[in-house]
Each structure stands twice: as C-alpha cells, then as structure tokens.
Amino acid sequence: MSVLAVVTGEREAMGLTRLGYRFARALERDLVVLCLEAGEADGEARVVAAGAAPADLAPAPAAAVAELERLAGDGPAPDPGLPLPAPAVEVRLLPTRSPLAAVLAQVAAVDADYVLVAKKDARPRRGASLARKLFNASPAHTVLVRLAGDLGRCARVLVPTAGGPHAAVALSLGERLARAEGGRLTALLVEPPAGELAAEVGERLLAGALAEAGVETGPHVDVRVELAEHRTEAIRKVAQEGYDLLLLGASNAGTLRQQLFGTLPNRLLAGGEGLSVAAVRSRFSLVERIKARLGRWLDLTVPQMSREDRIGLYETLESGSRWSFDFMALISLSTAIATLGLLQSSAAVVIGAMLVAPLMTPILGAGLALVQGNLPLLRRAARAIGWGYLIALAIGLGGGFLVPLDALTPELLARGGPTLLDMGVAFFSGVAAAHCLGRPGLLAALPGVAIAAALVPPIATTGISLAHGARANAGGAALLFGTNVVAIILGAAATFYAAGVRGKPGASRSQRWVHWAFGGLLAVVVVLAIPLAAGMRGQGEEVKALERALAQRLETVRDVALVGVEERYDGGRPVLEVTVRAPAPIPPALARELAQAAGAAGARPRVRVRTEVAVEVE
C-alpha cells in the first residue's frame, strides 16, 4: 500500500511532498508523488528517474524530487523507540486532460490507501475544483490540505473531534504522526457550557471517540475539553497555541470543515507563520465504491442533465406532487371515467381515464426525492398518493354499488390477476416517464407512458370488485396498484440517478433514511414478486391442464373443437367458462361431461359451457 500525493502545480509541490513523506513514514507506507501536467490527451504516467537533473523536469516534479532528496538526508525518526524506516518514494509525471479520472486510475494502480491533495485558495471559474472532486470521489482515505507557511514538522497535531468514522481516522493518523515526530497529539472536544457537569460529559464523549479510533492516552496523546458556545472560535483559539497541523475528521463536521476552510485565512495566526489545516475523509465502503464506480460510468455513458433541466425537473415534480384542489379534481374525474369504462368494458374509455389521472407525477416525485435525499418532497408525494388512492377507491366503491352487474366485465377481470409481467411493465414505464421529464424535448411521449402504466383503473377495479363481493379480484387489483407504484418509483429513481441527479456528497446521518427506504422498496419488490410469480405460474399450469383434459375428451366428438377457457364472475362468485365451437349447440350430456372433466382437472366448482355455432356453407 502507498500514500499518493497529488500535485497540480509548482506552488504546492514542495509542501505536499513534505507532508506526504511524513504521512508515509508514520504509516509505514510507500510514497508516490503524482505530478499532473495539462495535456491535449490522456497519457501514460512516467516515473521520474532518481537523481534526475532539475533542468530535465517541469517545475512541479523538479521541486518534488529536490524535496525528497532533502528529506532522505534528515536521518532516523526523532523517537528512538520507534525505528521507522524511510519510505520508498517515487515521482510520477502524468499528462492528462481528464485529471479526476486519471488520478482515480492511479489510486488503483499504486494501491493507495491514503490520498493527499492541496486545496487552492482561488476558486475555479466553473464547477468544483479537482481537490474537492477528489475529496468526494476517491475510494481511499483522502486528506484535503490547506498548506500555510513552511510545514517543517508535524510534532504538535491538534485533532478536534466529536466521534464518527472520519474523526476516528483523523485521530489515528494524528497519533501516528505525533509518535513518528516525537511530538504530541491533542484530542480536542468543544462542549457547550450547559450545566455544571458539562466538562465531565465532554471527557466521556472524548474518551469514547478515542476508543473508537483505537487511540490510547499516553506520552504522545493529550486530551482536552473546552467549554464554549461557538465551536469554530474555540478551535481557532486553541490552534493559536503553537500547533503544526490542524487535522479534522469530515464526519459529523462537514459544516465545520467548510467554516474552517472558508473563514480562516492562510495565515491563521496573525503575524506568525500560520497553521496548515487538513480535513480527512475515511475510505469508502465496498457499497460506496461500487456506487462511485457506477456513477462515473454513468457520467461517461449516459447524457447528463444540465443544471437548468434539473431545476425545471424539480419544479415540475415538486408542484405536481402537492395535494391540492386541482389534484383532487383530476383524480376524482379520472376515477369516475375509469369506473364507467370498466363497468361497460370499454377499453377506449379506460385509456382516456389513464390520460387524465395525475398520480404519475407524485410517484415520479417520490423517485426524485429518494435520489436527492429530499424528505420534504417524499412526504408531499406520499400524501398525494395516499389521499389520491383513498378518493379513487371511494369513487370505485360508489360506482360498484350504483351499477348492478350480472358478472364482472373482462376489463375488470383483466386487472384482477397481476403477474411478474405487470411489474416489468411498471418498472420500464417509470424509466420512460422519468426519461421524458428529464428531456424537455420528449414530453410529447408522456401520454403514451401514462397509458402503459395503469394507475387509476386498478384502484377503481378494487372498489367495484369489493362492491360486488369479488374479494379475490379486488385483492388482485390492489396488488397490481401496489406493484405499479413501487416499480415506477424504482424505475424513476434509477433513471434520475443515471441522468446526473444525485444527492449532496457527504450527506449527514439524517439522510441515511434514503438507504433504508431503498432497502425497504427492494424488500417490497421481493415480497410482491412471490404472489405475482405464483399467480403467473398457477394460471398457466391450471389453464394448460384444463385445456389438455378438455381437448382429450373432445377427441372422440365429431365437429366439436375447444376455443378457450376464461374465468369470469357471476354475482361475485367465480365461474369457469369453457367455450367450444360446433355446428349446433352441444347436447346437455356433453356439456356435463366437459364440466366434470374441468372439475377433475382442478378447475373452479362452477363451470359454464358456451357453444359458438359455426355453420359452413358451400
């Protein structure tokens, strides 16, 4: 393993090389100094030969080589009880036009577990700097450094902490630096002065943070609790006591890191040499590394939405996900249309109801909220979906009670037996809808997506079926709606993520609900897949067995052929309707034999035989 110091210019070459050398010696790692050189195309990293003349090198690698030669002559570590060997060092020169991708490739190539990069004072004209991008994307422990003055040693290291994984890495790193330099680490905790036991509470919290980091108090470690209202000011005051390096853990202190880097000048101590400040972000977990690789692959493969498109997308879904009078009116009207279409078994009317229904927008809003980590938007979308479902169910129930039916219509029955195919349709409908919303030029395709992803008709079917006592069909329709909602949310979330809509990097613990929400949705998909797969398999096997039994019976009957088998409802009770084709109505005895054959094949208790009369005229 190695420490990788990323140098982007001559200005930070000497200081970052020196700090990287001290890190590598303290961690007992090799050191690789990577000097980036702007080029018209990406090239291969070239190892600078040892002892290369400065005249043969660009300014940045020349300064790095000279500094490494000087450090190699410093001799052994100051602590005789800690005989740390000098690290193996290497300087690489890398021409590139894609610095982030190039550095990430080098992180993998040199097996770096620590990456150092300097934060520049000047902000880039557009976009985030390489240092900030690398801090957010590097899979290794990453240290963002603001160099100030001549960082001659790291003997006195100050680490403010409140616990957490990143703070643990900062404490461990600070302790090893202090030991390697024969100095001391000061672990600092700032506690609000609330009550007479505030100091004792702070000491216990600090002891827990040290235990989490595996750091023990001793000759190289001091602990200090400061009681103050303003954390940043308290750290700044303590830092004026002559420390060499201020080391911060990014965890639980993302805002603090921004405040320190944003408000403390290069010369932290007025009139002094200043204090170097470093923020540490611990390595990504396996899941985070996979997510980062996926994100980079998507960035290169899928056209990313522009900032204006993302703003327009959020405005559309945020306003469309609100429960309002217009939303209530549209859901009521669309359900009424769907109810009438289902009752009269008119596919055209049902399609018209799909075009009017507003439920797709809040479902897409829920997908966007999960990708962004936007809890308020998720709550608004869930409220709209919930109230919309209840109103549509009530209208469906009312329509079912008002309109009598001898049997459920084919349109109603079609929505009472969902299968895994319906889940696939819903998922890809969510993908298509999200893609259309993210690309303003494709909005004309949204009506087609609304037709493919039926949302209101299943709710109306649930209500009508309940009104007529067909509980099995009602349960199937409700299952279809739930399947559609979950699959569309996941499809939309995947599409938004692929198109460049992401949450804030380094999200706080309060946004961990996103991972739980995604995990919950995936668990729901697995649970729903069981009855959907069983229904699909059961329907297919039952129909095949029944058709084989009936066809076998009709082999001995002349001019009578099996047309098909269909399940219907009569007075809320299931009836299996067997249709045959013959030149005349079949005798009642044959009908009873077919019914008995269907019953023996495992069909419903009630079997109805219907004859299609077909007369051939020559």
Read off φ and ψ for residue 328, nearest 5 degrees.
Answer: -65, -40
* Choice among 15-29, 80-94, 262-276, 531-545 with the minimum mean pLDDT: 262-276
| Claim to verify: residue 335 and residue 481 sit in the same structural domain | yes
Which is more confident, 318 or 442? 318
Question: Does 28 reside within a domain?
Answer: yes
Q: Is residue 74 part of a domain?
A: yes
**Are 440 and 372 spatial neighbours (Cβ–Cβ below 8 Å)?**
no
Q: Is the pLDDT of residue 255 over 50?
A: no
Residue 68 pLDDT > 80:
yes
Looking at residue 127, its pLDDT comes to 47
Q: Is residue 530 part of a domain?
A: no
Last residue of a domain, one of 259, 289, 319: 289
Residue 277 within a domain: no
- Residue 378: exposure state from Cβ atoms within 10 A (0-12, 13-18, ≥19): buried
Instruction: Please state the domain count of the chain.
Output: 3
pLDDT at position 383 over 60 = yes
Contact 201, 191 (CB under 8 A): yes
Say if CB 93 and CB 52 are below 8 A apart: no
If asked whether residues 545 and 460 sit together in one domain, one would say no
Q: Coil, helix or strand for 190?
A: strand
pTM exceeding the 0.75 threshold for the entire prediction: no
Predicted local confidence at residue 570, as pLDDT: 58
- What was the pLDDT predicted at 466? 92
Task: State the CATH number of the domain containing residue 609.
Answer: 3.30.300.70
Q: What is the CATH number of the domain that holds 6?
A: 3.40.50.620
Instruction: Decide which of 126 and 118 is more confident.
Output: 118
448 lies in the same domain as 597: no
Band the pLDDT of 75: cuts 50, 70, 90.
Answer: low
422 pLDDT more than 90: no
Least confident of 331-345, 352-366, 581-595: 581-595
| pLDDT greater than 60 at residue 313 | yes
Q: Average of pLDDT values for 96-104? A: 85
* Tokens found for residue 450: 């609304």
The answer as to whether 171 is a domain residue is no
H-state helical runs in 264-374: 286-301, 307-320, 325-343, 347-356, 360-372
* Whole-number pLDDT of residue 508: 46
φ, ψ dihedrals at 441, nearest 5°: -75, -10
Nearest to 309 by CA among 490, 450, 434: 434
How far apart, in whole angstroms, are the C-alpha atoms of residue 300 and residue 98?
12
Q: Which of 289, 310, 334 is the last residue of a domain?
A: 289
**Residues 127-147, mean pLDDT to the nearest whole number:** 80
499/544 same-domain check: no
Pick from 126, 143, 125: which is nearest to 134 by CA? Answer: 143
Beta carbons within 10 angstroms of residue 396's beta carbon? 30
DSSP class of residue 321?
Answer: T
**CA dihedral sign of residues 173, 174, 175, 181:** positive
What is the token pair recorded at 383?
A: 């409220």
Residue 54, pLDDT score: 58
Q: What sign does the dihedral 361-436-434-430 (CA atoms) show? A: positive
pLDDT digits (tens, 9 = 90+) for 184-214: 888 888 888 776 677 888 888 888 888 888 8
| Residue 436 domain-assigned (yes or no) | yes
What does the mean pLDDT of the chain come to? 79
* 499 and 547 assigned to the same domain: no
Domain range for 311 is: 302-503
436 with 561, same domain: the answer is: no
pLDDT tens across 443-457, in order? 666 666 666 677 899
- Residue 114: its pLDDT value, please? 92
Q: Could you tell me if 381 and 488 lie in one domain?
A: yes
Percent of the chain residues topping a pLDDT of 90: 13
Residues 366, 431: contact at Cβ < 8 Å?
no
What's the confidence (pLDDT) of residue 473?
Answer: 86
Read off the pLDDT of each residue in 234-247 and give the average, rounded to a whole number: 84
**Looking at 458, 477, 503, which one is the last position of a domain?**
503
What local confidence, expressed as pLDDT, does residue 228 receive? 82
Q: Do 466 and 334 share a structural domain?
A: yes
pLDDT at 163: 64
557 inside domain: yes
Of 110, 91, 87, 142, which Cα lies nearest the Cα of 1?
110
Q: What is the DSSP letter of 407?
A: B
Longest dimension (CA), the chain: 114
Asked if 461 and 546 sit in the same domain, the reply is no
Indicate the DSSP class of residue 244: S
Helix (H) / strand (E) containing 464: helix 456-467
Residue 511 domain-assigned (yes or no): no
Residues 349 and 484 in one domain: yes
Same domain, 354 and 469: yes
Burial class (CB in 10 A: 0-12, 13-18, 19+), 73: exposed
pLDDT number for residue 486: 93
Average pLDDT for 228-243: 82
Q: What is the pLDDT of residue 272?
A: 39
Judgement on whether residues 404 and 490 belong to the same structural domain of the protein: yes
Mean pLDDT along residues 8-35: 87
Comparing 50-59, 494-503, 512-521, which segment has the lowest mean pLDDT? 50-59
Joined tokens for residue 590: 């044959």
The residues, ordered by sequence, that sit 6+ positions from 84 with a Cβ below 8 Å of its Cβ are 25, 26, 28, 76, 77, 180
DSSP character for 85? P
